[in-house]
Every structure is written in structure tokens, then in C-alpha cells.
């Protein structure tokens, strides 16, 4: 509908939609499926790690800890991502 108003008859949308689907297929093939049982809020992760919530947010901002945004104000850290973070931390401490 808006494509007709803009004069492109929706072609650009169809092309971008096809590109997004192709990217999804590539991502599914390259990433292993993650299984998780529960998610944690940054405050809960801070309690587990015995640190301040600002430290957890800095880990997320630095890319050391993976978090998923549920909404504009809500983050969740999956238990599998927290386990990976802890494993990486133990390996670096042992080295």
C-alpha cells in the first residue's frame, strides 16, 4: 500500500524481505541452537556474580556478556549465556 504511494510499487520491500529471509537461513545454519531453562535480569546476575549491577551492564556493553532486549527498558540474560561467560572467566583466570 505505501509502496504505491511512494511510487515503487512495493518492490523495494519485497527485495529487502527476501534479503532478510536469506540472512535468517544463513544464521540458522551457522549458529548452533541454544537451549535455556531460564533468563535472568541484570540485577539477578549481579547477585550471582557478587558484583554491582553497573558492572553487569558494563559487561553487556563491552560484549563480554550477551543479553537480549525484550523491550526498551528490559534486558534478559539467558542461563546458557551466563554459563558461557563464567566458563570464559574461569579459563582466563587459569591462564
Domain residue spans of the chain: 1-31, 39-94
Cα four-point dihedral sign 57, 51, 48, 41: negative
- Number of other CB atoms surrounding residue 89 within 10 Å: 14
Higher pLDDT residue, 78 or 7?
Answer: 78
Non-local CB neighbours of 88 within 8 Å, separated by 6+ positions: 64
Contact predicate 76/41, CB 8 Å: yes
Q: How many Å apart are CA 16 and CA 34, to the nearest integer?
A: 27
pLDDT in tens, 34-80: 666 789 999 999 999 999 999 999 999 999 999 999 999 999 999 99
Per-residue model confidence as pLDDT tens digits over 78-94: 999 999 999 988 887 77
pLDDT of residue 1: 44
39-94 has CATH 1.10.1660 classification: yes
**What is the pTM for the complete model shown?**
0.60
- pLDDT (0 to 100) of residue 91: 81
Amino acid at each position: 500500500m505505501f509502496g504505491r504511494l511512494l511510487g515503487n510499487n512495493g518492490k523495494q520491500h519485497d527485495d529487502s524481505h527476501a534479503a532478510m529471509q536469506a540472512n535468517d537461513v544463513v544464521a540458522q545454519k551457522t549458529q548452533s541452537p541454544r537451549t535455556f531453562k531460564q533468563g535472568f535480569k541484570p540485577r539477578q546476575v549481579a547477585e550471582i556474580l557478587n558484583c554491582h549491577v553497573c558492572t553487569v551492564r558494563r559487561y553487556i556493553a563491552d560484549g563480554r556478556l550477551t543479553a537480549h532486549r525484550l523491550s526498551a527498558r528490559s534486558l534478559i540474560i539467558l542461563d546458557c549465556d551466563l554459563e558461557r561467560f563464567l566458563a570464559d572467566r574461569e579459563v582466563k583466570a587459569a591462564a
